[in-house]
């Protein structure tokens, strides 16, 4: 995850209008993590007939808010606070490794959204 964070940070850093690339990268990584967690929960609910059921829209909003805040807090300490160490570790990578890193980032992005779409449309909540 640190490497994907670094690649995302580099992407945001290259935008001239972006004043906080490290924070923005952390928020995006956290959002993808939430999408992946939600996809996993939906998948598990379908196959294991989990009793983890929301009874109202407010419960869904509360659950999403709690998961998002927890993800932000964890990523703040693991990624954002250590951006200097992470940058130092990966800044001297080869051109090939950099290209492969961006390909991995793209696969993670599109794969997360595709999997969420696939699971959501295959196993809708009744």
Q: What is the pLDDT of residues 41-95, one digit of tens each?
A: 877 777 776 656 677 778 878 888 888 899 999 999 999 999 999 999 988 888 9
In terms of residue numbers, what domain contains 15?
A: 2-122
Res 115: pLDDT: 86
Separation of alpha carbons 113 and 71, rounded Å: 18
- pTM, whole model, 2 decimals? 0.78
Query: Of all residues in the chain, what percent carry a pLDDT higher than 90?
Result: 25
CB atoms within 10 A of CB 73: 11
Helix, strand, coil % over all residues of the chain, rounded to 5: 80, 0, 20
Total structural domains within the chain = 1
């Amino acid at each position: 995850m640190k490497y994907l964070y670094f690649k995302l940070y580099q992407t945001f850093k290259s935008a001239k209008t972006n004043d906080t690339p490290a924070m923005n990268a952390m928020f995006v990584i956290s959002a993808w993590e939430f999408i992946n967690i939600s996809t996993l929960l939906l998948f598990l609910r379908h196959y294991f007939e989990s009793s983890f059921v929301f009874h109202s829209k407010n419960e869904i909003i509360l659950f999403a808010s709690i998961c998002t805040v927890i993800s932000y807090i964890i990523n703040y300490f693991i990624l954002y606070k250590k951006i200097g160490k992470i940058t130092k570790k990966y800044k001297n990578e080869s051109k090939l490794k950099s290209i492969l890193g961006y390909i991995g980032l793209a696969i993670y992005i599109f794969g997360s959204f595709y999997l969420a779409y696939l699971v959501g449309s295959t196993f809708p909540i009744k």
